[in-house]
Amino acid sequence: MSGLASAAQALTPAKVLGLARRVVVKIGSSLLVDRATNRLRADWLKALAEDVAALRAEGKEVVLVSSGAIALGRRRLAVPTGVLKLEESQAAAAVGQIQLAHAYQSVLEGFSLTVAQILLTLSDTEERRRYLNARATLRTLLGLGAVPVVNENDTVATNEIRFGDNDRLAARVAQMISADCLILFSDIDGLYTGDPNRDAGAAHVPLVAHLTPEIEAMAAAAGAKTAQAMGSGGMATKLLAARIAVGAGAHMLIADGRPEHPVRRLATGEARATVFLAEASPRTARKAWIAGSLSPLGSFAIDDGAVAALKRGMSLLPAGVKAVEGLFQRGDAVRVCDLEGREIARGLSAYGSEDAALIKGRKSGEIEDALGYRGRDEMIHRDDLVLTQRPETG
């Protein structure tokens, strides 16, 4: 299979964006910062903020993943042009992050939007407990109506433990929050069959149904990055991001973000892009991952009332748990069994085994008294639980 989608499968950027409820938008350095002066493109950023406000007015949740801190910081510190040493990049990022955060706060609050800054490292998306904490923070911010602005924490990340580009960071954020749309804005309007700067016959690819070797070859032919690029990502990194995003259930768009109002241009059909089709919905992808990709480290035995509640799509509450087995930490996968030992479901426990044993059989309102802190009301939230089989009946 070539990976190119047929006309019958056509899903336009406007339709993808129109159907999305949770959108991650990645903004490259070359869009946010003028290459010649290393100054912020203030008018462009204000137009983007207006686009974000329009998405929020439609009821969509929005997360921005933004580059630009190092470029802004090196100008402020008067660091000479050329390749930066790691410590110079970290110093520039420390200064630039303040400018970047202030810029986003200024433009978004002009549209009555609350802004939050989140700095992540590669470890925050790969180490289980830190991943859960970051996900919980992002989801809480979205639930409260804020617009999180995410960037890699370049001030502490080393070459060995950093993403190196915000394309993959954006994909990890989309995966983390179960987004259904990821937009990578750059200085090119999508994937081409070759390098459009060198090959006059290179054709734009509007839709990719599958990430095949042929598609990967196109990315390699497109080159590392375009001549105008300031950041660290090229087409190859965008395909790595696509693998993460579509596997997590998010459609991904690669689009030219240089003109003002880049989101609106996609929504109205004025701008073209390459659409990478998601393999499943975010919810289905996450459920499949929980059911088939994680090895359970423990189990809960639950009563008949809890079994019935799970089959109705409810969360597992501590009151329905009668026994806790195994040694596990918060966020680890566990089996959920009926009192006869038959597996009913699998899920990610909101508590480690020691705390779970202390609150089993208790009402949610008694958790704080039992543990000394206020945890989650659920032992396993329904978003983190998948039924694996129904209990047998006589």
Task: Tell me how far CA of residue 302 lies from CA of 37, 63, 163, 342, 351, in angstroms.
Answer: 63, 38, 41, 10, 16
Q: Please check whether residue 257 is in contact with residue 184, taking contact to mean a CB–CB distance below 8 angstroms.
A: no
Q: What does the pLDDT look like over 50-76, one tens digit per residue?
A: 999 999 999 999 999 998 888 888 888
What is the DSSP secondary structure assignment for residue 383, as one 8-state letter? G
pLDDT value of residue 166? 85
Kindly report, residue by residue over 69-117, the tens digit of the pLDDT.
888 888 888 887 777 788 888 888 889 899 999 999 999 999 999 999 9
Asked if residue 384 lies in contact with residue 314, where contact means CB atoms within 8 angstroms, the answer is no
Report pLDDT for 163.
61
End-to-end distance of the chain based on CA atoms, in angstroms?
47
User: How many Cβ atoms from other residues are within 10 Å of residue 186's Cβ?
Assistant: 27
pLDDT value of position 8:
35
How much is the pLDDT for 306?
A: 97
Gap between the Cα atoms of 72 and 21, Å rounded = 32
CA distance 55 to 49: 10
Which stretches in the chain have pLDDT values below 50? 1, 6-8, 160-161, 225-232, 390-394
